[in-house]
Amino acid sequence: MTSPLTSLTELAKAADQCVRCGLCLPHCPTYGVLREEADSPRGRIALIQGLAEGKLSVSAPLVEHLDRCLLCRSCEHVCPAKVPFHGLMIGAREKIGESGYARKPVDGRVERLLERSDDGKLASWLRLAYQTSGLQWLARRSNLLPAELARAEGYLPPPTALLETRERYDAVGAEIGRVGLFAGCMGRDFDALTLKSAIRLLTAYGYAVVMPSARTCCGALHLHQGDIPKARDQAREALAVFSGLGVDAVIVASSACCATLADAAETGEQAPPVLDICRFVAECAKSAAGSGRRVTFRPAENPVAVHIPCSQAHALRDQTSITEILNLIPGIELKTLPSEGGGSVRCCGGAGRYVFDQPALSDRIRERTLDDIADVGADTVVTTNLGCALHIGKGLRESGVGGRVMHPVTLLAERLI
């Protein structure tokens, strides 16, 4: 796990670790599309070094090159010199913020959606009404919405029933433990099916589940913008709602949120461990096999494409738990999407608010993922990160490739007997 580098001396020292070998370049999604040295990891490190050593000042071109980075961490994953790129980029973005440089804001309505902190019930009902009344159909065909709002609207997942608001769920059979489930700032509205599925699986494996009603955020959106104090406050608040509940661990069902919260828990005091749902279910399945608890699944008929998000592969450093849990389904045929080799996976371009801040680039980066999905010929795609699921789902719908996108635990819970 990593920490942001917050002083100019730390930034300069970390940047100096880069030996300019260029091994990271073929793994960088923005270099792959733009072919500019300044949009490669090596080029960005050079810019940060110039900034940290006072040789460069904050300017529009410098900010643009640094802001085009998705923080996918492919470069960090393959770097032989172990340059701590994530901490370096977040530290550099903090320095840009401190300089007073004003970035072009996204549409205020989209900003409010990303920043929302209400309890979300009214918004959830309104969304469902909008999607099921024919208004969405009309809006998408009439082109009446302003461009940025239309783009945001396109990220709405298919309508699903609203999430129940219960805070506690009992274990099925004898209780072997109690876990907290982190719903996040958007999970109840945009990922209700994943949360419901996680609850079904966790309770089936003997865990009581506590899902506090307080809407909290892991802080990743602010961290990626370099607002380190706000990100830390949000992560602290998110973990605090689980204190005193007697949970053995906090389980997270979106890999980017999990990586951010796990970092915060490692550096915070008295926080319960933060664990990814796929890894946790994989361990549950192994324990159940040894203890005689029977949790079984109906066979699958169709092939499934497996997308491994950058946050799962490079931040959580786990590329196996998705297939481990899906292989619990008898007869399943898994088709893992191609990677870049060397353990680095292909970014889909759906890096949080990047899809609004860099719309054209995020769509171009996604093209290769959509081609990969079309090539493997599966009509179901699983991915563990909500941002990736929404970005890929939008791309599949708009490109006509079609198919459904879901979290692996949803596929597993669908087949739970």
Window of 17-25, 96-104, 148-156, 259-267 that interacts with ligand SF4 by CB under 6 A: 17-25
Count of residues that bind ligand SF4 according to CB under 6 A: 26
Residue from 12, 23, 123, 145 that binds ligand SF4 (CB under 6 A)? 23
Residues 6+ apart with CB under 8 A from 257: 182, 184, 218, 220, 386
Least separation, in Å, of the C-beta of 21 and ligand SF4? 4
What angle, 0 to 180 degrees and rounded to 10, lies between the N-to-C axes of helices 192-204 and 277-291?
A: 20
CB contact at 8 A, 325 and 11 = no
- Interaction between residue 20 and ligand SF4 (CB under 6 A): yes
- Interaction between residue 19 and ligand SF4 (CB under 6 A): yes
Window of 75-83, 122-130, 196-204, 237-245 that interacts with ligand SF4 by CB under 6 A: 75-83
User: Phi, psi at residue 207, to the nearest 5°?
Assistant: -105, 135
Amino acid in position 350: G
Give the number of other Cβ atoms within 10 Å of residue 242's Cβ: 24
Of 40 and 234, the one with the shorter C-beta distance to ligand SF4 is: 40
What angle, 0 to 180 degrees and rounded to 10, lies between the N-to-C axes of helices 41-52 and 8-16?
A: 140
Tell me the CA end-to-end span of the chain in Å, nearest whole number: 37
Of 20 and 141, the one with the shorter C-beta distance to ligand SF4 is: 20
Residue from 11, 14, 15, 28 that binds ligand SF4 (CB under 6 A)? 28
CB contact at 8 A, 153 and 135 = no
Radius of gyration (C-alpha) of the chain in whole angstroms: 21
Least separation, in Å, of the C-beta of 261 and ligand SF4? 20
Q: Which residues pair with 228 in a beta bridge?
A: none
CB contact at 8 A, 321 and 278 = yes
Of 27 and 232, the one with the shorter C-beta distance to ligand SF4 is: 27
Residues 38-57 that bind ligand SF4 (CB under 6 A): 41-42, 44-45
Neighbour order of strands in the sheet with 168-169: 168-169, 207-210, 177-182, 249-252, 274-276
Least separation, in Å, of the C-beta of 345 and ligand SF4? 11
Residue from 73, 215, 368, 407 that binds ligand SF4 (CB under 6 A)? 73
Nearest Cα neighbor of 64 from 12, 6, 103 is 103
Q: 208 by DSSP, 3-state: which?
A: strand
Window of 28-36, 107-115, 234-242, 316-324 that interacts with ligand SF4 by CB under 6 A: 28-36
CB contact at 8 A, 315 and 284 = no
- Interaction between residue 207 and ligand SF4 (CB under 6 A): no
- Interaction between residue 29 and ligand SF4 (CB under 6 A): yes
Of 69 and 382, the one with the shorter C-beta distance to ligand SF4 is: 69
CB contact at 8 A, 184 and 216 = yes
Count of positions (residues) in the chain? 417
Give the number of other Cβ atoms within 10 Å of residue 207's Cβ: 26
- Interaction between residue 22 and ligand SF4 (CB under 6 A): yes
Of 24 and 201, the one with the shorter C-beta distance to ligand SF4 is: 24
Least separation, in Å, of the C-beta of 75 and ligand SF4? 3
- Interaction between residue 346 and ligand SF4 (CB under 6 A): no
- Interaction between residue 188 and ligand SF4 (CB under 6 A): no
- Interaction between residue 309 and ligand SF4 (CB under 6 A): no
Q: 324 by DSSP, 3-state: which?
A: helix
- Interaction between residue 85 and ligand SF4 (CB under 6 A): yes
Residue from 74, 255, 311, 358 that binds ligand SF4 (CB under 6 A)? 74
Residue from 62, 83, 90, 361 that binds ligand SF4 (CB under 6 A)? 83
Instruction: Give the footprint of ligand SF4 on this chain (CB under 6 A).
Output: 18-24, 27-30, 41-42, 44-45, 69-75, 79, 81, 83, 85
